[in-house]
Amino acid sequence: MRPDAPINDSLVVDYVDNSFESQGDFASGRNAVAASIIQHGQIVGHPAWLLGIDGTGVIIASADSGIDRDHACFRDATEPGASGSEWNNATGTPGTSHRKIIFLDESIDDWDTQGNEHFTHGTHVAGSLVCRSVYEQAAEDIQDWVNATPGEGTALSHGAKLVFTDVVGDDGWVVPEPPVLFSTAAENGAVIRSDSWGDPTTNYTERTRQFDSWLHSVPWALSIVAPGNTGNEVQEPANGFNVVAVGVAKKDGGDDLWMLTPHSPTSQGRQGVEFVVPGVSIISAAADGEHNSYNDGWKSSSGSSMAAPQAASAAALIQQMVQDGWIGGSEERDEVVVVRPGWAKVVDGNLSDGEIMLSEGFTPSGSLLRALLSLSAESMEGGRQGSILLGPGPDDSQGWGLVNLTRLVYFDTIERSLGNIVIDPSANVWIHDSFRLEDDNWQELVETWTEDGNDPADSGWSGEGAAGPFLTTGSRQSWVMPVIEGQDIEVRLAWSSNPYPDLDDLDLIVQAGGDWYHGNRFDGWNSSSYSAPGLGEQNSTLEGVRISANKLLGVDSITVTVRATELGGLKDQHGVVGIGGDRVGFALAVRGVYRDDVVPETAWVIESPQDGTVDSGLLWLLLGTGVLVAVVVAIEAGRGRIEGVDGVGVTVGQHSNPQGDSLPSAEAPHTGEEE
Give the residue numbers marked as catalytic. 64, 121, 305
Please answer whether residues 262 and 284 qualify as being in contact, where contact means their C-beta atoms are separated by less than 8 angstroms: no
Distance of alpha carbon 35 from alpha carbon 31, whole angstroms? 7
Whether residue 341 is preceded by a cis peptide bond, meaning omega within 30 degrees of 0, is no
Enumerate the H helices of 23-120 as residue ranges.
30-40, 47-50
Evaluate whether 546 touches 539 at the Cβ level (below 8 Å): no
Residue 476 parent element (H or E): strand 476-482
Question: Which amino acid appears at position 90 of this protein?
Answer: A
CB 607 within 8 A of CB 573: no
CB 71 within 8 A of CB 123: yes
Cα-only R_g, the chain: 24
CA–CA gap between residue 633 and residue 211 (Å, rounded): 34
Longest dimension (CA), the chain: 76
403 phi/psi in degrees, rounded to 5: -60, 130
Rounded-to-integer distance, Cα 344 and Cα 347, Å: 5
Peptide bond into 237 cis (omega under 30): yes
Name the residue among 413, 272, 313 with its Cα closest to residue 354. Answer: 413
CA 43 from centre of chain:
22
Instruction: Check if the beta carbon of residue 494 is closer than 8 Å to that of residue 368.
Output: yes
The single-letter code of the amino acid at 254 is G
The span from the CA of 505 to the CA of 495, in Å, is 9
For residue 522, what are the contacts with CB-CB under 8 A and spacing of at least 6? 392, 394, 528, 546
